Amino acid sequence: GAVVSQHPSRVICKSGTSVKIECRSLDFQATTMFWYRQFPKQSLMLMATSNEGSKATYEQGVEKDKFLINHASLTLSTLTVTSAHPEDSSFYICSVGEGAYTEAFFGQGTRLTVV
Amino acid sequence: SQKIEQNSEALNIQEGKTATLTCNYTNYSPAYLQWYRQDPGRGPVFLLLIRENEKEKRKERLKVTFDTTLKQSLFHITASQPADSATYLCALPNSNSGYALNFGKGTSLLVTP
């Protein structure tokens, strides 16, 4: 199966600053990657679909100007949380897959804490 | 709206027993359903996928059933071990976003020696 690496695994930033999270597909060329967010005791919620070479597609209620996604290559997608606020503190996870009816491969997640 | 419901209460069982977790969904007609395991502070790990035309799927000590009439899936771990302690997530395809997934909140399983 695909190996997905996220970096950093943990980050603490000050309110108002921006944070970039990287998601790398180490052995799988991913034209599509998904970004999820998980608050404590809550389910993973899809934030956006990252498309290689084109604009990301955001879920309803997710601000595209706040959560910038760049998918410049088949192995790397980045999520930048701009002007972070404490309410953005969450667990961010990316995933790749080969399509419907197949398993999804997830990164190890990034724990973002905004202080 | 589409909902995926899993028992929010933690399930505590004794080692060697069978654990049974439930996933109920509403306003869905999924072509398949998946189960994942998630350990604290980690991303989910795939366990099993079952298609709508399959009643049951097995993998080693794991068994999944899928009842599209009841809109329910049951996930069984037989001969449970302390290492099986984790949160188990039920996932259905996101009908609006390609092959992304919608997840339940998960059920925490604790297997005690």
Segment B35-65, tens digit of pLDDT: 999 999 999 999 999 999 999 999 999 999 9
Grouped pLDDT means (10 residues each) for chain A, 115 residues = 94 98 94 95 94 92 96 94 97 94 95 98
Instruction: Report the gap between the CA of A43 and the closest CA in chain B (Å).
Output: 4
What pLDDT was estimated at residue A1? 79
What pLDDT was estimated at residue A69? 96
What pLDDT was estimated at residue B1? 84
What pLDDT was estimated at residue A28? 87
Q: Using CA atoms, how far apart are residues A85 and A90, in angstroms rounded to an integer?
A: 11
The residue assigned the tokens 């998601």 is: A23
- Mutation site, A71, A92, A103, interface B, largest B CB count within 10 A: A103
What pLDDT was estimated at residue A95? 97
What pLDDT was estimated at residue B74? 98
The strand ranges marked E within B11-106 are 11-14, 19-26, 32-38, 45-51, 56-59, 62-67, 72-77, 86-93, 101-103
What residues of A are in contact with residue B103 (Cβ under 8 Å)?
43-45
